[in-house]
Amino acid sequence: MANEIFGILAEFDNPNGLLQAAQKAHAAGYRDLDAFTPYPIEELAIAIGFHDRRLSKIVLGGGLTGLLTGYGLQYWVHAMTYPTNIAGKPLNSWPQFIPVTFELTILFAAISAVIGMIALNGLPHPYHPVFNVPRFALASRDHFFLLVEATDPKFDRHHTREFLKELNASEVNDVEP
Amino acid sequence: MDPKPATYEPAPLIAPGHTFGSVTDKISAVVLSGRQPAGWFVGMIIGFLITMMLMFAVTWLLLKGVGIWGVNIPVGWGFAIVNFVWWIGIGHAGTLISAILLLLKQGWRTSINRFAEAMTLFAVMCAGMFPLLHTGRPWLAAYWLFPYPSSMSIWPQFRSPLIWDVFAVSTYFTVSLIFWYVGLIPDLATIRDKTKHRGLQVIYGMLSLGWRGSVKHWERYEQAYLLLAGLATPLVLSVHTVVSFDFAIGIVPGWHTTIFPPYFVAGAIYDGFAMVLTLAIPLRAMYHMEDLITLRHLENMAKVTLVTGLIVAYGYSSEAFFGFYSADKYEGFMVWNRMTGPYWYVYWTLIFCNIITPQWLWFRRVRTTPWLLFCVAMVVNVGMWLERFVIVVTSLHRDFMPSMWGMYHGTVWDWMTFIGTLGFFLTAFFLFVRVLPMISIFEVRTLVPEAKLVEAEGH
């Protein structure tokens, strides 16, 4: 009964209000927190204890794959499947294979950065419960939101609501699932 | 007499009085309001008509073949390569602004990076047309250029700089495109949330991937953006380096020099910034964006133009010096012929455009007077095109033996194709301004005074 909603969304009209509220909510023991802002605020991720460094590993993997693909492709073409004597150069003329190897390293790394970011973020995600709150449209404009999800062990529909109100939220709304 | 101020105070990055809401409304209004300034229609119509001319020239080219162009032996590389190098170079400023200035934490990149990146994309598209068209049969170009297992069992020659070029330019275009798109995602969400029109909500909603501004998303987003900037930085330097290899790897006098890669990259950034200024100055006047694209931005861009212009000037003098210092009579003749031969007027016009004209930018008065700056930028654009013309044509038209000497002039079809791409560029740019936010809204929000965080209690 108490958990029929997705969570409770508190609204702030400035970044400082949100940042302080997020710090207090985290200090009060809430862990299933999320915040929504119109531009990136690094301090907020720290405030809600969020940390994810997987992307850089994905990009490194992508870059190495590109490197091996680039060199492997040229080696395979010129030393194995289609060997041609060009100006007496060795079949595996590695200095001349560097430009293409370099470009493919960058290409694969860049594509894995974008796809990795989109995939880790769970996008595309056209429907999300927070969009049910009409005022949430302001999150892409000039308002700042703190969400406590109903999955949080400490979540209680009544108490959490009161707690968020005490954090100087300008408005507190239930989020329909 | 007024006492001189002790320190020079630059103009602010964003005019005072702006809030999160006001910058959002101002930038998104261009996309959302049905009304466009008269300049938009004028530019669009001119651009569209010139694009039609391009279509005409290209159709005739495909029907008749490259014989309609002015290229012939000894000048087998003409307008197509000149235009290719010029357009690719223009693109470089967009990437420099979006990637290198981001890594250097230059706040002034913020309100110019979006349209500069769009400029990059359209410039690379224009550039890409020429290598394809000069094959005469572009639909067959695939097996010459791309390594795929064709039924003929032949493969491209990876030891050739022309193939490096294919990889460099296609990688450059792809990375620029995804970098630009990633930057657009949060702004597309803003448009989605602001519009009342159902169709637009769906279109921008899909394009924005359902972006909701979650702090967890922003965290990974910022990482991805920074990584992309770090990848695009060496990439952009490599692209014009590889373009210069098209020349420098050959043994033609005037091309076979080690100064080419840095000199090409500097020239690319030089011309690119001139083109950003050429676009930014009318754009900010047309859409009254003077409070977001301030004099500070114009002045900084002018300074970059000046510095890269000086590097280019160094490149010219080094080229001339080494031509004689090499003690190679072909190299020496090439330099002398460039300055006093049949194309002397092109060479000296280029020196006037690229070395003399930018010296005006030493004066703050010129850097902060938009119309003067626009004139200087236009002259630089012309000068850089002439530079590529001089490099390509003066080296080729005097072959090693006088019996192989010749002259080169673009035909009417060459000119129609080149001017046609300018029309395509203009059309694409005006369409971009109409349908996408031309300034990065979310990044400009970070410049607003409200965005300043106060120190939290207990810290």
Torsion of CA B262, B237, A40, A54, to 10 degrees: -140
Which among B19, B155, B158 is the nearest to A142, CB-wise?
Answer: B19
Query: How many H helices and E strands in chain B?
Result: 18, 0
B169 → chain A, closest CA residue? A103
Percentage of chain A beyond pLDDT 70 is: 98
> Measured between alpha carbons, how far is B435 from A28 in angstroms, rounded to an integer?
45
CA dihedral (B319, B101, B366, B374) positive or negative: positive
Nearest to B376 by CA among B307, B305, B296: B305
Asked if B231 and A113 come within 8 Å (Cβ–Cβ), the reply is yes
Q: Which residues of B fall within a CB distance of 8 Å from A148?
A: none
- Contact A150/B at CB under 8 A: no
Q: CA of A131, closest CA in chain B: separation in Å?
A: 8
Q: CA of A115, closest CA in chain B: separation in Å?
A: 9
Query: Does residue B161 sit in helix, strand or coil?
Result: helix
A21 → chain B, closest CA residue? B456
- Contact A14/B at CB under 8 A: yes
The confidence score (pLDDT) of residue B3 equals: 54
- Contact B214/A at CB under 8 A: yes
- Contact A23/B at CB under 8 A: yes
- Contact A135/B at CB under 8 A: no
The confidence score (pLDDT) of residue B459 equals: 43
User: By mean pLDDT, which of A21-25, A65-69, B168-172, B281-285 is the weakest?
Assistant: A21-25
The confidence score (pLDDT) of residue B424 equals: 96
- Residuewise pLDDT in 10s, chain B (459 residues): 455 555 666 777 888 888 888 888 888 888 888 788 898 999 999 999 999 999 999 999 999 999 999 999 889 889 999 999 999 999 988 888 888 888 888 888 888 889 999 999 999 999 999 999 988 888 887 777 888 888 888 888 899 898 999 999 999 999 999 999 999 999 999 999 888 889 888 999 899 998 988 999 999 999 999 999 999 999 999 999 999 999 999 888 889 888 999 999 999 999 999 999 999 999 999 998 888 888 889 999 999 999 999 999 999 999 999 989 988 999 999 999 999 999 999 999 999 999 999 999 999 999 999 999 999 999 999 999 999 999 999 999 998 889 989 999 999 999 999 999 999 999 999 999 999 999 999 988 888 888 887 754 444
Query: Does residue B214 sit in helix, strand or coil?
Result: strand
